[in-house]
Copies of this chain bind each other. A is one copy, B any other.
Amino acid sequence: MTPRSVHIVGTGLIGTSVGLALSGRGVTILLSDRDPARVRLASELGAGRPVDGGSGQRVDLVLICVPPSEVATELIRVQNLNLGVIYSDVASIKAKPQQEAQRLGADLSVFVGGHPVAGRERGGPAMARADLFLGRPWVLAPTPETSSAALEAVRALVAECGAVPVELDAGAHDTALALISHTPQAVASLLAARLTDTDAATVQLAGQGLRDLTRIADSDPDLWAQIAYGNARPLAAALGGLAADLARLAAALDAGDEQGAAAFRAVVAAGNAGRARLPGKHGARAARYATVPVVVSDEPGALARLLVHAGEAGINVEDLSLEHSPGAPVGLCELFVQPATADALAAVLTERGWVVHHAEGADSDG
Protein backbone atom coordinates (compact mmCIF):
# COMPACT_ATOMS: atom_id res chain seq x y z
CA MET A 1 0.00 0.00 0.00
CA THR A 2 2.89 2.41 0.75
CA PRO A 3 4.16 3.91 -2.51
CA ARG A 4 7.58 2.49 -3.34
CA SER A 5 8.28 5.02 -6.11
CA VAL A 6 7.45 8.73 -5.99
CA HIS A 7 7.93 11.45 -8.59
CA ILE A 8 8.27 14.88 -6.97
CA VAL A 9 7.34 17.72 -9.31
CA GLY A 10 8.82 20.95 -7.95
CA THR A 11 11.94 20.79 -5.77
CA GLY A 12 11.42 23.73 -3.44
CA LEU A 13 11.52 23.42 0.31
CA ILE A 14 8.58 21.05 0.61
CA GLY A 15 9.32 18.86 -2.40
CA THR A 16 12.97 18.45 -1.51
CA SER A 17 12.16 17.75 2.12
CA VAL A 18 9.75 15.00 1.11
CA GLY A 19 12.49 13.54 -1.08
CA LEU A 20 14.96 13.59 1.80
CA ALA A 21 12.44 12.04 4.19
CA LEU A 22 11.50 9.20 1.81
CA SER A 23 14.94 8.47 0.34
CA GLY A 24 16.04 7.53 3.81
CA ARG A 25 13.22 4.96 3.94
CA GLY A 26 14.09 3.11 0.77
CA VAL A 27 11.55 4.76 -1.52
CA THR A 28 12.72 5.44 -5.09
CA ILE A 29 12.44 9.17 -5.74
CA LEU A 30 12.41 10.95 -9.10
CA LEU A 31 12.79 14.72 -9.12
CA SER A 32 11.76 17.32 -11.68
CA ASP A 33 11.47 21.12 -11.68
CA ARG A 34 11.25 23.72 -14.41
CA ASP A 35 14.49 25.12 -12.92
CA PRO A 36 17.31 22.59 -13.59
CA ALA A 37 19.53 24.20 -10.92
CA ARG A 38 16.95 23.41 -8.23
CA VAL A 39 16.68 19.77 -9.30
CA ARG A 40 20.47 19.45 -9.30
CA LEU A 41 20.75 20.89 -5.79
CA ALA A 42 17.91 18.73 -4.47
CA SER A 43 19.53 15.67 -5.97
CA GLU A 44 22.94 16.53 -4.56
CA LEU A 45 21.36 16.89 -1.15
CA GLY A 46 20.15 13.29 -1.46
CA ALA A 47 16.49 13.93 -2.19
CA GLY A 48 16.37 11.60 -5.22
CA ARG A 49 17.53 11.45 -8.84
CA PRO A 50 16.54 13.83 -11.64
CA VAL A 51 14.24 12.37 -14.30
CA ASP A 52 15.84 12.06 -17.71
CA GLY A 53 13.95 13.95 -20.37
CA GLY A 54 10.59 15.42 -19.52
CA SER A 55 8.84 12.44 -18.01
CA GLY A 56 10.59 9.44 -16.58
CA GLN A 57 9.18 6.05 -15.60
CA ARG A 58 5.65 5.59 -14.29
CA VAL A 59 5.62 5.78 -10.49
CA ASP A 60 3.26 4.76 -7.69
CA LEU A 61 2.65 8.38 -6.72
CA VAL A 62 3.25 11.79 -8.27
CA LEU A 63 3.54 14.57 -5.69
CA ILE A 64 2.94 18.04 -7.13
CA CYS A 65 4.89 20.64 -5.14
CA VAL A 66 4.18 23.85 -7.05
CA PRO A 67 2.42 27.10 -6.04
CA PRO A 68 -1.37 26.87 -5.52
CA SER A 69 -2.21 28.68 -8.74
CA GLU A 70 -0.28 26.10 -10.81
CA VAL A 71 -1.50 22.89 -9.19
CA ALA A 72 -4.43 22.25 -11.54
CA THR A 73 -2.55 22.74 -14.82
CA GLU A 74 0.36 20.67 -13.51
CA LEU A 75 -2.00 17.86 -12.50
CA ILE A 76 -3.49 17.81 -16.00
CA ARG A 77 -0.02 17.77 -17.55
CA VAL A 78 1.31 14.84 -15.49
CA GLN A 79 -1.93 12.88 -15.86
CA ASN A 80 -1.81 13.38 -19.63
CA LEU A 81 1.72 11.99 -19.58
CA ASN A 82 0.42 9.11 -17.43
CA LEU A 83 3.34 9.61 -15.05
CA GLY A 84 1.79 7.91 -12.03
CA VAL A 85 -0.92 5.72 -10.52
CA ILE A 86 -1.93 8.20 -7.82
CA TYR A 87 -1.53 11.98 -7.56
CA SER A 88 -1.30 14.47 -4.69
CA ASP A 89 -0.16 18.05 -4.04
CA VAL A 90 1.11 20.13 -1.10
CA ALA A 91 -0.41 23.58 -1.71
CA SER A 92 -1.56 25.65 1.27
CA ILE A 93 -4.96 26.30 -0.38
CA LYS A 94 -7.14 23.32 -1.27
CA ALA A 95 -10.61 24.17 -2.63
CA LYS A 96 -9.67 26.44 -5.52
CA PRO A 97 -7.01 24.21 -7.13
CA GLN A 98 -9.40 21.25 -6.79
CA GLN A 99 -12.27 23.09 -8.49
CA GLU A 100 -9.94 24.22 -11.25
CA ALA A 101 -8.64 20.66 -11.77
CA GLN A 102 -12.20 19.41 -12.05
CA ARG A 103 -13.06 22.10 -14.58
CA LEU A 104 -10.00 21.20 -16.63
CA GLY A 105 -11.04 17.54 -16.67
CA ALA A 106 -8.48 15.97 -14.35
CA ASP A 107 -9.11 12.41 -13.13
CA LEU A 108 -9.94 13.15 -9.49
CA SER A 109 -10.54 9.50 -8.57
CA VAL A 110 -6.76 9.08 -8.28
CA PHE A 111 -6.11 12.51 -6.73
CA VAL A 112 -5.87 13.49 -3.04
CA GLY A 113 -5.22 17.13 -2.10
CA GLY A 114 -2.63 17.54 0.64
CA HIS A 115 -1.11 20.27 2.80
CA PRO A 116 1.78 19.65 5.16
CA VAL A 117 1.44 22.32 7.85
CA ALA A 118 5.14 22.57 8.50
CA GLY A 119 5.48 25.89 10.28
CA ARG A 120 7.12 29.01 8.98
CA GLU A 121 8.82 27.68 5.91
CA ARG A 122 11.56 29.57 4.20
CA GLY A 123 12.20 28.80 0.63
CA GLY A 124 14.31 26.68 -1.61
CA PRO A 125 15.84 23.21 -1.66
CA ALA A 126 18.79 24.36 0.46
CA MET A 127 16.43 24.83 3.41
CA ALA A 128 15.04 21.30 3.06
CA ARG A 129 15.18 18.89 5.97
CA ALA A 130 14.32 15.21 6.20
CA ASP A 131 12.73 15.94 9.58
CA LEU A 132 10.63 18.90 8.42
CA PHE A 133 7.37 16.99 8.83
CA LEU A 134 8.11 15.10 12.02
CA GLY A 135 5.04 15.22 14.19
CA ARG A 136 3.47 18.03 12.13
CA PRO A 137 -0.10 17.81 10.85
CA TRP A 138 -0.44 17.00 7.13
CA VAL A 139 -3.94 17.67 5.90
CA LEU A 140 -5.44 15.18 3.43
CA ALA A 141 -8.35 16.58 1.41
CA PRO A 142 -9.83 13.83 -0.78
CA THR A 143 -12.23 14.85 -3.53
CA PRO A 144 -15.73 13.32 -3.67
CA GLU A 145 -14.41 11.01 -6.41
CA THR A 146 -11.18 10.00 -4.71
CA SER A 147 -10.88 6.22 -4.39
CA SER A 148 -10.15 4.76 -0.99
CA ALA A 149 -7.02 3.13 -2.46
CA ALA A 150 -5.69 6.54 -3.48
CA LEU A 151 -6.45 8.01 -0.07
CA GLU A 152 -4.74 5.13 1.73
CA ALA A 153 -1.66 5.39 -0.47
CA VAL A 154 -1.23 9.11 0.26
CA ARG A 155 -1.94 8.53 3.93
CA ALA A 156 0.84 5.93 3.99
CA LEU A 157 3.21 8.37 2.28
CA VAL A 158 2.43 11.05 4.86
CA ALA A 159 3.04 8.63 7.71
CA GLU A 160 6.31 7.59 6.05
CA CYS A 161 7.38 11.27 6.22
CA GLY A 162 6.74 11.24 9.96
CA ALA A 163 3.75 13.58 9.71
CA VAL A 164 0.33 13.17 11.31
CA PRO A 165 -2.40 12.79 8.66
CA VAL A 166 -5.48 14.94 9.33
CA GLU A 167 -8.41 14.32 6.98
CA LEU A 168 -10.47 17.39 6.13
CA ASP A 169 -12.41 18.28 3.03
CA ALA A 170 -10.95 21.08 0.93
CA GLY A 171 -13.45 23.68 2.10
CA ALA A 172 -13.02 22.82 5.76
CA HIS A 173 -9.25 23.05 5.34
CA ASP A 174 -9.44 26.49 3.80
CA THR A 175 -11.88 27.71 6.46
CA ALA A 176 -9.61 26.36 9.21
CA LEU A 177 -6.52 28.01 7.74
CA ALA A 178 -8.44 31.27 7.31
CA LEU A 179 -9.11 31.26 11.04
CA ILE A 180 -5.85 29.99 12.49
CA SER A 181 -3.30 31.34 10.04
CA HIS A 182 -4.64 33.96 7.63
CA THR A 183 -6.73 35.96 10.12
CA PRO A 184 -3.86 36.29 12.62
CA GLN A 185 -1.74 37.63 9.75
CA ALA A 186 -4.39 40.22 8.85
CA VAL A 187 -4.76 41.29 12.48
CA ALA A 188 -1.02 41.57 13.06
CA SER A 189 -0.57 43.61 9.89
CA LEU A 190 -3.52 45.92 10.61
CA LEU A 191 -2.35 46.54 14.18
CA ALA A 192 1.16 47.30 12.98
CA ALA A 193 -0.20 49.47 10.16
CA ARG A 194 -1.92 51.66 12.78
CA LEU A 195 1.56 52.61 14.01
CA THR A 196 2.48 54.29 10.74
CA ASP A 197 0.44 57.42 11.49
CA THR A 198 0.93 57.31 15.25
CA ASP A 199 3.20 59.93 16.82
CA ALA A 200 6.63 58.82 17.95
CA ALA A 201 5.87 59.45 21.65
CA THR A 202 3.06 56.92 21.53
CA VAL A 203 5.05 54.32 19.63
CA GLN A 204 7.79 54.73 22.22
CA LEU A 205 5.43 53.41 24.90
CA ALA A 206 5.05 50.02 23.19
CA GLY A 207 5.81 46.96 25.28
CA GLN A 208 6.17 43.22 24.79
CA GLY A 209 2.47 42.64 24.19
CA LEU A 210 2.37 44.73 21.04
CA ARG A 211 5.64 43.19 19.89
CA ASP A 212 4.25 39.67 20.22
CA LEU A 213 1.14 40.66 18.35
CA THR A 214 2.96 42.26 15.45
CA ARG A 215 5.92 39.91 14.99
CA ILE A 216 4.42 38.28 11.89
CA ALA A 217 3.64 41.72 10.47
CA ASP A 218 7.17 41.50 9.04
CA SER A 219 5.83 39.01 6.46
CA ASP A 220 6.13 39.26 2.69
CA PRO A 221 3.23 41.20 1.06
CA ASP A 222 3.45 39.26 -2.25
CA LEU A 223 3.33 35.86 -0.58
CA TRP A 224 0.26 36.94 1.37
CA ALA A 225 -1.43 38.41 -1.68
CA GLN A 226 -1.23 34.92 -3.24
CA ILE A 227 -2.73 33.30 -0.17
CA ALA A 228 -5.51 35.90 0.01
CA TYR A 229 -6.21 35.36 -3.68
CA GLY A 230 -6.55 31.63 -3.16
CA ASN A 231 -8.71 31.81 -0.06
CA ALA A 232 -10.63 35.08 -0.41
CA ARG A 233 -14.15 33.97 0.63
CA PRO A 234 -13.30 31.91 3.73
CA LEU A 235 -10.89 34.64 4.79
CA ALA A 236 -13.54 37.33 4.27
CA ALA A 237 -15.90 35.36 6.52
CA ALA A 238 -13.31 34.92 9.27
CA LEU A 239 -12.27 38.57 9.17
CA GLY A 240 -15.89 39.70 9.10
CA GLY A 241 -16.59 37.65 12.22
CA LEU A 242 -13.68 39.16 14.09
CA ALA A 243 -14.62 42.66 12.92
CA ALA A 244 -18.11 42.11 14.34
CA ASP A 245 -16.66 40.90 17.66
CA LEU A 246 -14.49 44.01 17.87
CA ALA A 247 -17.34 46.33 16.93
CA ARG A 248 -19.55 44.72 19.59
CA LEU A 249 -16.89 45.23 22.25
CA ALA A 250 -16.37 48.82 21.11
CA ALA A 251 -20.12 49.47 21.34
CA ALA A 252 -20.24 48.08 24.88
CA LEU A 253 -17.36 50.36 25.88
CA ASP A 254 -19.11 53.30 24.26
CA ALA A 255 -22.35 52.55 26.08
CA GLY A 256 -20.82 53.10 29.49
CA ASP A 257 -17.89 52.29 31.76
CA GLU A 258 -19.71 49.55 33.67
CA GLN A 259 -21.01 47.85 30.55
CA GLY A 260 -17.65 48.18 28.85
CA ALA A 261 -15.80 46.70 31.81
CA ALA A 262 -18.19 43.75 31.99
CA ALA A 263 -17.87 43.09 28.26
CA PHE A 264 -14.09 43.32 28.41
CA ARG A 265 -13.95 40.95 31.38
CA ALA A 266 -16.07 38.43 29.46
CA VAL A 267 -13.86 38.69 26.37
CA VAL A 268 -10.65 38.17 28.34
CA ALA A 269 -12.20 35.21 30.19
CA ALA A 270 -13.30 33.66 26.87
CA GLY A 271 -9.79 34.22 25.57
CA ASN A 272 -8.36 32.34 28.56
CA ALA A 273 -10.56 29.38 27.62
CA GLY A 274 -9.69 29.50 23.92
CA ARG A 275 -5.99 29.81 24.57
CA ALA A 276 -6.09 26.69 26.73
CA ARG A 277 -7.21 24.70 23.68
CA LEU A 278 -4.02 25.39 21.73
CA PRO A 279 -1.95 22.23 21.41
CA GLY A 280 1.13 22.14 23.60
CA LYS A 281 4.30 20.25 22.91
CA HIS A 282 4.31 16.58 21.93
CA GLY A 283 0.73 16.81 20.78
CA ALA A 284 -0.59 17.26 24.29
CA ARG A 285 -3.08 19.91 25.26
CA ALA A 286 -1.52 23.18 26.28
CA ALA A 287 0.26 22.57 29.53
CA ARG A 288 0.20 25.55 31.80
CA TYR A 289 3.91 25.92 32.38
CA ALA A 290 5.20 27.67 35.44
CA THR A 291 7.24 30.81 34.85
CA VAL A 292 10.54 31.59 36.50
CA PRO A 293 11.52 35.21 35.75
CA VAL A 294 15.26 35.94 35.92
CA VAL A 295 17.18 39.17 35.41
CA VAL A 296 19.78 38.73 32.64
CA SER A 297 22.38 41.26 31.60
CA ASP A 298 22.52 42.17 27.93
CA GLU A 299 25.95 40.76 27.06
CA PRO A 300 27.26 37.76 25.13
CA GLY A 301 26.99 34.55 27.09
CA ALA A 302 24.66 35.72 29.86
CA LEU A 303 21.64 33.84 28.58
CA ALA A 304 23.80 30.80 27.85
CA ARG A 305 25.13 30.75 31.43
CA LEU A 306 21.58 30.93 32.71
CA LEU A 307 20.48 27.95 30.63
CA VAL A 308 23.62 25.99 31.49
CA HIS A 309 22.78 26.41 35.17
CA ALA A 310 19.22 25.28 34.51
CA GLY A 311 20.47 22.31 32.51
CA GLU A 312 22.95 21.31 35.21
CA ALA A 313 20.00 21.03 37.55
CA GLY A 314 18.46 18.60 35.04
CA ILE A 315 15.50 20.89 34.40
CA ASN A 316 14.16 21.17 30.87
CA VAL A 317 13.29 24.71 29.85
CA GLU A 318 10.17 24.28 27.68
CA ASP A 319 10.13 27.79 26.33
CA LEU A 320 11.47 31.20 27.17
CA SER A 321 10.79 34.80 26.41
CA LEU A 322 13.01 37.82 26.70
CA GLU A 323 11.76 41.22 27.76
CA HIS A 324 13.92 44.13 26.78
CA SER A 325 13.37 47.60 28.14
CA PRO A 326 14.48 50.24 25.66
CA GLY A 327 17.73 51.68 26.96
CA ALA A 328 18.11 49.12 29.72
CA PRO A 329 21.35 47.17 30.16
CA VAL A 330 19.43 44.25 31.66
CA GLY A 331 16.47 42.24 30.51
CA LEU A 332 13.98 39.95 32.14
CA CYS A 333 14.10 36.37 30.88
CA GLU A 334 11.08 34.24 31.66
CA LEU A 335 11.81 30.53 31.74
CA PHE A 336 8.78 28.30 31.18
CA VAL A 337 9.11 24.95 32.95
CA GLN A 338 6.92 22.14 34.22
CA PRO A 339 5.18 23.49 37.34
CA ALA A 340 6.66 20.75 39.53
CA THR A 341 10.21 21.90 38.71
CA ALA A 342 9.76 25.67 39.10
CA ASP A 343 10.70 25.92 42.77
CA ALA A 344 13.76 23.75 42.32
CA LEU A 345 14.87 25.83 39.36
CA ALA A 346 14.39 29.09 41.25
CA ALA A 347 16.42 27.69 44.16
CA VAL A 348 19.25 26.46 41.93
CA LEU A 349 19.46 29.74 40.02
CA THR A 350 19.38 31.84 43.18
CA GLU A 351 22.19 29.70 44.60
CA ARG A 352 24.18 30.35 41.43
CA GLY A 353 23.83 34.08 41.94
CA TRP A 354 20.93 34.89 39.61
CA VAL A 355 18.29 37.42 40.61
CA VAL A 356 15.12 35.35 40.41
CA HIS A 357 11.75 37.04 40.78
CA HIS A 358 9.03 35.14 42.50
CA ALA A 359 5.76 35.34 40.66
CA GLU A 360 2.80 36.37 42.78
CA GLY A 361 -0.79 37.20 42.06
CA ALA A 362 -1.50 40.18 39.88
CA ASP A 363 -1.22 43.51 41.60
CA SER A 364 -3.69 46.28 41.10
CA ASP A 365 -1.27 49.15 41.01
CA GLY A 366 0.10 48.57 37.49
Q: Per a CB cutoff under 8 Å, which of B166, B212, B228, B362 touches A264?
A: B228
B-chain residues with CB within 8 Å of residue A261 when the two chains form the complex: 225-226, 228-229, 232
Question: How many residues belonging to A are interface residues under a CB distance threshold of 8 Å?
Answer: 173
The CA-CA distance from A65 to B320 in the complex, in Å, is: 31
Check A260 against B279 for contact (C-beta < 8 Å): no
Check B209 against A120 for contact (C-beta < 8 Å): yes
Interface mask (A170-211 → B, CB under 8 Å = 1, otherwise 0) = 001001110111011111111111111010111111111111
A-B contact pairs, 28 of them (CB 8 A): A14-B366, A117-B207, A119-B325, A121-B365, A129-B295, A176-B205, A183-B191, A184-B209, A189-B267, A192-B270, A192-B274, A195-B275, A220-B362, A221-B266, A221-B272, A224-B268, A228-B253, A232-B256, A232-B260, A232-B261, A239-B246, A239-B247, A239-B249, A243-B246, A282-B326, A283-B326, A301-B307, A320-B322
B-chain residues with CB within 8 Å of residue A319 when the two chains form the complex: 322, 324
Closest CB in chain B relative to A171 CB, distance in Å: 12
Instruction: Check: A330 CB closer than 8 A to any chain B CB.
Output: yes
Q: What is the chain B residue whose CB lies nearest that of A173?
A: B205
Closest CB in chain B relative to A35 CB, distance in Å: 12
